[in-house]
Amino acid sequence: MPALFAFLHRMRPAAHLRILFSAMLIVPLFAASAVAQDLSRDDVEKIVREYLLENPEIIAEAFNELQRREQEAEEAARLQALNDSADILFNSTRQVVLGNPQGSVTLVEFFDYNCGYCKRAYGDMVRLIEENPDLKVVLKEFPVLGQGSVEAAQVAVAVNSIAPEKYPDFHEALLLSRGQANLASAVAAATDLGISEEELQAAMSTDEAGQTIEEVYTLANRLGLTGTPSYVVGNEVVMGAVGYDQLSSKLDALKNCGQTTC
């Protein structure tokens, strides 16, 4: 019993319910045996209780197996979502492409202008582009950190529609700027590049910004993304700012072996 209590204590509340569910999966095994032996419900409950008290580790084993199956199911669903969404993920007319637009290897990044990890990961992306002339980088505006992020993304979409050749400089200036990214800071970054505020307002008054962001939200939901930065490399979703080395390794494997691991 102490081992069981210690194990439960380490689990989060939601995990407690999962463990109890795991334990419930064991009961049918005893029930089937009980039918064969003509045991009563009380007899079965007593047997199950005694068995679990004597072998508390089986709950942990059942919980681990449940987790493994859930992870496999999530990964299978994510892979299916990648296949189903491949065209809009890699070739949407609304996306921004950096690096080599015709590159044979593609890295997709979901980002937010107020994401500190995205700011730190920017140097990784620049280095990857510089070192891989065959790399195509697709940027997805994924504002998840409040209204300021949404406003910044809307201005970014407007910049891309008005002057796509200026988007890389705008993206770098806004992403690496100090302070909160919002409507004012995004407009300032755009006007510093010679884009008039009137042009921005006209572009932002169309449905394009909203549709672009909604397209990314839909993609992110299908792929199970909850934060930024998140990446797609080949048929793999990579969560978080994993760093240059890991991204480079996956891209090399994708180029040489057709998948992110060789």
Q: What is the pLDDT of residues 175-190, one digit of tens each?
A: 999 999 999 999 999 9
Whether 131 maps to a domain, the answer reads yes
Our count of domains for the chain comes to: 2
Task: Inform me whether the pLDDT recorded for 1 exceeds 70.
Answer: no
Distance CA 132, CA 198 (A): 38
Whether 71 maps to a domain, the answer reads yes
Distance CA 196, CA 194 (A): 6
Are residues 40 and 6 both part of a single domain?
yes
Average pLDDT estimate for 57-82: 81
Orientation of helix 197-204 relative to helix 183-191, angle to 10°: 130
Are residues 80 and 96 both part of a single domain?
no
Are residues 34 and 125 both part of a single domain?
no
Are residues 243 and 188 both part of a single domain?
yes
Are residues 53 and 163 both part of a single domain?
no
Whether 262 maps to a domain, the answer reads no
Are residues 141 and 58 both part of a single domain?
no
Question: Long-range contacts made by residues 220-223, C-beta under 8 angstroms, separation at least 24?
Answer: 220/110, 220/140, 220/142, 222/81, 222/84, 222/85, 223/78, 223/81, 223/82, 223/85
Are residues 73 and 111 both part of a single domain?
no
Are residues 187 and 247 both part of a single domain?
yes
Task: Please say whether the beta carbons of 52 and 100 come within 8 A.
Answer: no
Structure tokens at 7: 């194990």
Are residues 148 and 253 both part of a single domain?
yes
Residue 126: its pLDDT value, please? Answer: 97
Domain termination site, one of 36, 52, 84:
84
Distance CA 91, CA 71 (A): 29
Ranges 72-81, 86-95, 113-122, 156-165: which has the least confidence: 72-81
Residue 249: its pLDDT value, please? Answer: 96
Nearest to 22 by CA among 8, 36, 43: 8
Are residues 71 and 111 both part of a single domain?
no
Residues in the chain: 262
Return the SS3 of 209: helix
Orientation of helix 183-191 relative to helix 147-162, angle to 10°: 20
Average pLDDT estimate for 149-164: 97
Partners of 109 in the β-ladder: 139, 231
Domain termination site, one of 58, 84, 110:
84
Q: Where are the beta strands (DSSP E) in the chain?
A: 96-99, 105-111, 135-141, 230-233, 236-239
- Calculate Rg over the CA atoms of the chain: 25
Are residues 111 and 53 both part of a single domain?
no
pTM across the whole model: 0.73
Domain that holds residue 253: 92-257
Question: Given pLDDT bands bounded at 50, 70 and 90, which one contains residue 74?
Answer: confident
